Structure 1
């Protein structure tokens, strides 16, 4: 059950609260509404209501609370989530809520509405969190494997939130990426779905004050009155479009704005649906976890219901992509070696050796094999021409030090792809707006700050000894994702599809 609470986005400590109802809950068990719930509740809902003395969840004093209206709105707009409102008994719920509210506090009708709302809420939360078939995430550990939560666990997590109303309003069981992108999509549809499908020429930059055919087409595309002037009304509409599409809101229709205007709304709908499905796989903020988005090359970390921090990262290049995967960060390695990928040994390092450099002066060493007991090789034992020609694969690692590609620390979530988070001495790459340069691993802007968050104290090696493994006090989930549509202010920013995954 504790695992279910964690998946629902609340700390395990909340479970104890739900199993030990306060005095008010015990009094509620004797209330008339509670008595009606006791008499009629069954199945898995009883597992939720019984430990809380059959105290109603949706009734505030003698009426259905506003959290029910928020739930009904969520169900009405659930097509955004790829769901069907009919699956959650929308019409029946609307009728039950209206009947209960107009009954003058009839305990029987309030109890019926409370149970129906709980049933539909649990089903909606379960389905909203359920992965879709078109997005694939590789799960490395059972702790991060998606599962269908029991209705009682879903309701229990909601009931112990500090404000149940806010929990429903803020979709507190979902990732912040999901709820913000969902809200942005709803607003996006309202504002831009019904515009005329008119192509705007991109031959010239359209500026305020201009007149002519370009301004005429731009006005038509944005649904303004006919005319040929790039006037104040058109400037305001262009700025609004730019802001909602994550573009610089300067009112000038340059190439990026024209490109965005000429995309059909169906393209935006598909992109938002795809990225909402990707965000669906991320946990809620109450789960202590790390998110790495390879598309934007950024990292976020969460705990206690909030974002604790964010930083830039360097993600994999197009030819060596950072995969979508989730696992448990279990330990840090201080003073790490860097095991050089064999293709780099063949294409780069071997050439330098053949040109007269030595492994020792480059701060590398070669090993006999990839086992834990591998022997260090003398340079005279190595046929570097065979390595350069691809006739021999050679294990080479870079020794710890200031120039080591891993920096001072790497954070490990064991996987067979050799992907992890690590420090980096290559600070120049972090200053670039597009940061896709690595061999698949994630280079961190501030590894020490992330280490303090993991360990609750500064992370420092006890000596100069290589490869000092330090277990985390508690393993932390990490999710490597790929979000090419992200919330931005009041709108959505559409990022370049560097890995060409959006057409899949």
Structure 2
């Protein structure tokens, strides 16, 4: 940043008050927006973000964009310290107000917070400005809304593209009881052409095939160019339905931190994981998440330690459905690499297999704690990453590598199975965590706890715009 007039700092010092003074005093009243006696281009970036804030569910007029522009023009036309300081402080206040409103979650968003560090709160204006001042480029930080999750900003852009692409097309209903195919001719095809904004006609020609493919790709359907049952149903929902779906997913993404916060995001809808640090995406991988019956919950917490060489405490319903029948058919706990325990305490005593009424367990009349011993075949793999919660949800390694090749990866009992647990471990620790001998359940605290957010995004940004994913858990309710 180029130096400003020394008098600008004097004027800021005389005019600033409240929590804004905390920010400016710590930097010797050095301006954030004034560069070489002019308001810098970061101000234009802020005005552009405000102008589009309807996409965030906000009112652009609430941030005084017209008054800000007048102050900027006045500073450009008469760059004296008093005028520059007035514009400087007005821009700082507008940025702080916008950040607070963009970060504030909508009421009723069903995220469970396990630790105070991850709970939403209105950030202090001095903290907002201090973070902005630390960015390598304030203009870039504002243009990308660096205080928001990249998912949020990508979906925000995708929403605008979607509305521009599909939002103004005719609200025409396409008959749902016929399958329209390339090469055909009919009045129903004429309605399909109108619905997709093509020229009048009754032919299912190449232009219509390509337009149907684009629509299918954007709406999470197989892009075969055939207007079958699912494609027609998506068309007949109309753009307002999908805009509401985009708005819902924006609210889910609003709960996620910006990339300058070191954190992990798990999306249970797409079954993927991302991890961020220092303003950038450090990596991503596939995951396996819960089934429709054993859903991975919406929750956020702090990953505090890794457990190497872990046991797997088998859920009681799986003991009833899977373990007990095997024992009754003649298998042994030892052959299965399992052991039964007297209770759920940390130092529970082992139970002989003969001491358990397996008929009662199989019938659901009795529960018994069974765990799988550590080893190559353990369902937890070699490591699990723990953010303590009463649902027993965590991130873990897995020996079932074949599941990562599947497009739909909803197979777990709620926990998150990692495609590359060793890589994520190196990111957490700065090096690969290693065992100290062969003892089970070796706990290693992370150098610094890392926030993890388990979310559910059924609308995801793509290079072309947006794609809608199946609502596997039935949470959208639209």
- TM-score, normalized by length of structure 1? 0.89
Instruction: Give the 5 Å matches for 1:259-298.
Output: 259-298=233-272
Shift in alpha-carbon separation, 1:247–1:100, aligned structure 2, 3 A:
farther
Aligned residue number for residue 396 of structure 2: 422
Counterpart contact for 1:208–1:252, Cα < 8 Å = yes
Shift in alpha-carbon separation, 1:94–1:207, aligned structure 2, 3 A:
farther
1:478 aligns with 2:452: yes
1:45 aligns with 2:34: no
Deviations 1:37-82 (A, max 9, x none): 2232222222222222323222232332222222122212212212
Q: CA RMSD in A?
A: 2.1
Aligned to 2:46, the other structure's residue is in SS state helix
Aligned to 1:263, the other structure's residue is in SS state helix
Partners of 1:362 and 1:231 lie apart in 2 by 60
Q: Alpha-carbon deviation of 1:310?
A: 1.0
Corresponding residue to 1:81 among 45, 48, 56: 56
Aligned residue number for residue 319 of structure 1: 293
Instruction: Give the 5 Å matches for 1:250-261.
Output: 251-261=225-235
Aligned residue number for residue 3 of structure 1: none
1:165 aligns with 2:139: yes
Aligned residue number for residue 470 of structure 2: 496
Aligned residue number for residue 172 of structure 2: 198
Aligned residue number for residue 325 of structure 2: 351
Aligned residue number for residue 134 of structure 1: 108
Aligned to 1:73, the other structure's residue is in SS state helix
Instruction: Give the 5 Å matches for 1:55-74.
Output: 55-74=30-49
Partners of 2:263 and 2:198 lie apart in 1 by 46
1:152 aligns with 2:126: yes
1:431 aligns with 2:405: yes
Shift in alpha-carbon separation, 1:66–1:231, aligned structure 2, 3 A:
farther
Q: Alpha-carbon deviation of 1:498?
A: 0.9
Partners of 1:250 and 1:41 lie apart in 2 by 61
Partners of 1:317 and 1:240 lie apart in 2 by 30
* Count of aligned residue pairs for this structure pair: 478
Q: Alpha-carbon deviation of 1:223?
A: 2.4
Q: Alpha-carbon deviation of 1:96?
A: 2.6
Aligned to 1:271, the other structure's residue is in SS state helix
Q: Alpha-carbon deviation of 1:99?
A: 3.5
Q: Which runs of 4+ in 1 moved over 6 A?
A: none
Aligned residue number for residue 371 of structure 2: 397
1:446 aligns with 2:420: yes
Aligned to 2:300, the other structure's residue is in SS state strand
- TM-score, normalized by length of structure 2? 0.94
Shift in alpha-carbon separation, 1:97–1:241, aligned structure 2, 3 A:
farther
Aligned residue number for residue 201 of structure 2: 227
Counterpart contact for 1:243–1:491, Cα < 8 Å = no
Q: Alpha-carbon deviation of 1:235?
A: 4.7
Between 66-75 and 409-418, report the one with greater CA deviation.
66-75
Aligned to 2:9, the other structure's residue is in SS state helix
Partners of 1:113 and 1:210 lie apart in 2 by 63
* Runs of at least 5 residues in structure 2 that lack an aligned partner in the other structure: none
